[in-house]
Structure 1
Amino acid sequence: MKLFVEGGGDSTALKSECREGFKTFITKAGITKRPRIVACGSRSDAYNDFCTALNNNEEALLLVDSEENVDASSQEGEDRTKWLPWKHLNQRKGDEWEKPKGSEDTDCHLMVQVMETWFLADRAALAAFFGNGFKQEKLPATERPIEGISKVDVYRALKVATADCRTKAQYGKGAHSFKILATLDPAKVTSASAWAARFVDTLKKKMG
């Protein structure tokens, strides 16, 4: 099984960090038999690499940002196996991806709205990572559902909360994102994010 992930840019070093970050997160979630993680860079590259794998008759999963709020019609009901991420990606301007032949909706997973959204579920990990100068009170209120916070607001909050940090400096996606991912408690993330829970649950079922 291959897991094609959005992230890592064009840098070999950053792609390595991306793989390690997701590997650690998945392992901490209790998945000891892990998929091969492929850091693809852009979201379009992740989609294209996923499609290529399917065409080669490989088992594959796709994990990308939703980039924006997921419409209620794509996540109806409590049975998350029946949610429709391909519908979201097909309708989203800028993606408009077709559901690949041979793919199911349970092969496609969304980080809602961006990977950094997961960070808001484990503020203790953020505080420990950034240390002195980190201002947790600058993050969105804890009672706000994290998946409803826009991509722009997530990035802005992280930058403001870390503006006075000295040991790690202000939040930078390339410098910090995958290192932070590796420190998160998956139980906190899956409790706060239904889409993250769907991703972890699917991996557990598919990996045995």
Structure 2
Amino acid sequence: MVAVRVYVEGGGASRRAQEPLREGFSKLFERVTGGRARPKVIACGSRTEAFDDFKRALKSHPDALCILLVDSEEAVKPGTSAWDHVLKREGDQWPRPDGVSDEQLHLMVQAMEAWLIADPEALAAYYKQGFRRDALPRQQNVEQVAKRDLFDALDRATRDAKTKGKYAKSHGFELIGRVDPHRVRAASSHAARFFDTLIHQAAGGQAADGGA
């Protein structure tokens, strides 16, 4: 059986700092696959470090299916593949490694926070008193919300939250494990594509790698 390893942008510079993000995505992926074989999540820090870790993993784990999951940072032009986006995007210019398929790169459009606002109910349950749901963007397609607008909206929505206080990146690491993947799928075609990849691998009986 083939191991599935997902290299995720974010989490900080140390393993200790990266653990909450790794745990959050692990919970989300378990819900996506319905508890079937789930991938091993590797939080990598910066997007450049994530790409570098992914390329190293292609050599160090040749029998695994290695997947890179990063923010798109900006809107993806219609008809543009994920690999074309990161190749042409200023600041990335990442060439697709030899032998790597389209299914080995997926985008969080335009940032992880887009997946969070797709599930206002999860946000309301987390922040409780003082949370302002009406401050969130109303677009049904979260891919249309600019990255800066995502953070501004979350700041406004949580400014008066009594329990957790204003949105912080550490909150996002917890929340990503709480959002409903069905809501995220409905709000983001890129999320749907990624979730379909995970479900397909799980349905094929492929197991997660237990190694580091």
Q: What TM-score, normalized by structure 2, do the two folds share?
A: 0.89
Q: 127-136 vs 11-20, which deviates more?
A: 11-20
Query: Among 143, 149, 152, which residue is 1:153 paired with?
Result: 149
Q: Unpaired segments of 5 or more residues in structure 2?
A: 205-212
Q: Unpaired segments of 5 or more residues in structure 1?
A: 75-83
Query: Among 105, 115, 119, which residue is 1:118 paired with?
Result: 115
Matched, 1:163 2:169: no
1:35 is aligned to: 39
CA deviation after TM superposition for structure 1 residue 21, in Å: 0.5
* Off by >2 Å, runs of 4+ in structure 1: 11-14
Matched, 1:65 2:71: yes
Distance in 2, Cα, partners of 1:133 & 1:28: 28
In structure 2, the CA distance between the partners of 1:113 and 1:159, relative to structure 1 (3 Å rule), is: same
1:44 is aligned to: 48
More relative contact order, 1 or 2 (CA 8 Å, 6+ apart): 2
Distance in 1, Cα, partners of 2:79 & 2:132: 37
1:10 is aligned to: 13
Distance in 1, Cα, partners of 2:10 & 2:157: 23
Distance in 2, Cα, partners of 1:116 & 1:11: 22
Matched, 1:24 2:27: yes
Give 2:117's aligned amino acid: L
CA deviation after TM superposition for structure 1 residue 31, in Å: 4.9
> Aligned residues: percent identity?
43
Distance in 2, Cα, partners of 1:180 & 1:145: 19
1:109 is aligned to: 106
CA deviation after TM superposition for structure 1 residue 35, in Å: 1.3
1:134 is aligned to: 131
> Secondary structure of the equivalent of 1:200?
helix
